[in-house]
Amino acid sequence: MEIELSAYRKRFLDYVEGFRDVPDAAPLRLKVEHTFRVVEHAERIVDSLPEDEVERQWSEDAGACRAAVLAALYHDCGRFPQFRRYRTFLDAKSVNHAVLSFQTMRDGRFLREESARVRGLAQCAVLLHNRYALSPMLDPAARFVTDIVRDSDKLDIFRVMVSYLGNALPERDAVLLHVADDPGSWTPKVAEDVTAGRVARYGDLRFVNDFRLLLGTWMLELRFASTRKALAESGLMDEVLAGLPDAPGLRPAREKLHVLLEDCRNGRGAAR
C-alpha cells in the first residue's frame, strides 16, 4: 500500500533543521536516520498484512494504516528538544521523550491536513510507543497503530544498539544511556526478568550486558510475524547473544533468549 509522505518528510526535515545549532549533534543525526528506517519498517509491516485486514483498518477505521506510518515518522520528534536541553536521551534524567514528541507534533500541527481520526490515532501511537506495557482497555484501532510503531521502532533500535555494543564510537555513551562497559558483569534483576519472561526495564540497566538482555526481552513484545521474521533473519539477535558472558549465573537467561529467537525463526509466539 503506497502512502504519500513527501510533504510530511519535508516537514520533518524542516523541523530538524531548527536544531543545527546544537553542539556535538551527532546523536541527533542518528535520530534522523533512525526515523526514516522506522518509517520503512512500518511500511513493510503494512504491506505484509493480509489484504482483508489492511482493507478493514483502512476503510472501517478511517486510515489506521496511514496513521501508523505517519506516527512512525514523528514518533521521536521530541528527541531533538530533549537533547538540546538536557544533552541526553535518557528519559529518567530528563523528560519522557514520547510525551514530548506528542506535545511537539500536536502543538506544531504536523498532521493538520489529516482527518481528526487519523491525527488522533497517530498522536496516540506516538504518546504510547515507549510505554513499558499497553493497557488492555486501549481502543483496538489505537492498539493496532501503536503496535506497528512499537515493532518498527524496536526493529531499528536492535540494529542501532548492536552497532554500538562492541564499538567505541563517539555517540556510544548517549546511545547506550551511559551504562558501564564491564564485559563480565550484568545486573541480576535484569537476568531474572529474562528467565521469568518479563520485559526488562531501562531503569534497571547498569552494564552493557544488561542492554543485551533487554534487547532479548523485546522479542516477547514483537506483535507482527513480519517483524519477528525480519529480526531472526537479520542475525542481529545472534550477535547480541554471542556477546553475553558464558557464566553459570547467566546461563538460564541465555537459554531463554535462544528459545525466543528460535520461536521468531519458526513463526511461533504471540505474533499477528
- Structural domain harbouring 238: 179-265
Q: For residue range 135-188, list pLDDT tens digits in order.
A: 999 999 999 999 999 999 999 988 877 877 765 444 445 555 567 778 889 999
Within a domain: residue 270?
A: no
Closest CA to 22 of 92, 90, 85, 74: 85
Angstrom distance (rounded) from CA 78 to CA 19: 12
Q: Which residues contact 171 (CB under 8 A, 6 or more apart)?
A: 26, 27, 30, 164
Quickly tell me which residue has 510525551 as its cell.
99
Which of 154, 187, 202 is the last residue before a domain boundary? 154
One DSSP character per residue, 35-86 reads HHHHHHHHHHHHHHS-HHHHHIIIIITTSHHHHHHHHHHHTTTTHHHHHHHH
Tell me the C-alpha distance between 209 and 241, whole Å: 9
pLDDT in tens, 60-112: 555 899 999 999 999 999 999 999 999 988 898 899 999 999 999 999 999 99
Statement to judge: residues 83 and 13 lie in one domain: yes
Is 202 inside a domain boundary?
A: yes
Assess whether 193 and 125 both reside in one domain. no
Position 75 scores a pLDDT of 98
Helical H segments across 166-186, by residue range: 172-175
Q: Are residues 148 and 207 in the same domain?
A: no
Q: What values do phi and psi take at 207, rounded to 5?
A: -130, 160
Q: What's the 3-state SS for 116-135?
A: HHHHHHHHHHHHHCCCCCCC
165 belongs to a structural domain = no
Write out pLDDT tens, residues 202-246.
889 888 888 889 999 999 999 998 999 999 999 999 999 998 999
Count of domains observed in the chain: 2
Do residues 138 and 213 both lie within one domain? no
Whole-model pTM: value is 0.86
Same domain, 23 and 92: yes
169 domain-assigned = no
